[in-house]
A = this chain, B = another copy of it.
Amino acid sequence: MKISNLSAQSGLSIDTLRFYEKIGLIDPPPRDGAGHRDYPPEAPNWIRFLSQLNATGMKQADRIRYARLRAAGVTTVPQRRQMLEEHREVIRAQLEQLTDVLALMDRKVEIYQKLEEEMTDV
């Protein structure tokens, strides 16, 4: 799989993919005859997971730490599990806050609607 292809599939730019490789988030893929990156078929999966960690607020440094543990093999499973459990708690807290703010938005929108009705003398 070529980098342009992976970029299209993952939604990350080509520059970002190379950047992720440089900082250790993605394993350096083998190269083809021309020295171009040739990603393995499972690359999109890993990138999708990285994006999910990203979207749920995990910091680059922690994602790098997780990627390194993953690359180190099966002996790091306990550490990886702990990282995921901690992150799970972060997500839970975010969920709670989002739910609260969503309810607040609903109240505010309602108040604004009433105000608009009064302003137009309904």
Contacts and interface: CB of A to CB of B under 8 A. Distances in A.
Chain copies in complex: 2
Contacts of A8: none
A84 B88 CA distance: 28
Interface residues of A, number: 32
A104 B95 CA distance: 14
A119 B56 contact: no
B84 A105 contact: yes
Interface of A: 49, 52, 55-56, 74, 77-78, 80-81, 84-85, 87-88, 91-92, 94-95, 97-99, 101-102, 104-106, 108-109, 112-113, 115-116, 119
Nearest to A110: B81
Nearest to A85: B109
A101 to B, nearest CB: 5
7 contacts: A52-B101, A77-B119, A78-B116, A80-B112, A85-B105, A88-B109, A95-B102
Given A55-B97, A88-B102, A77 B116 contact: yes
Contacts of A119: 74, 77
A75 to B, nearest CB: 8
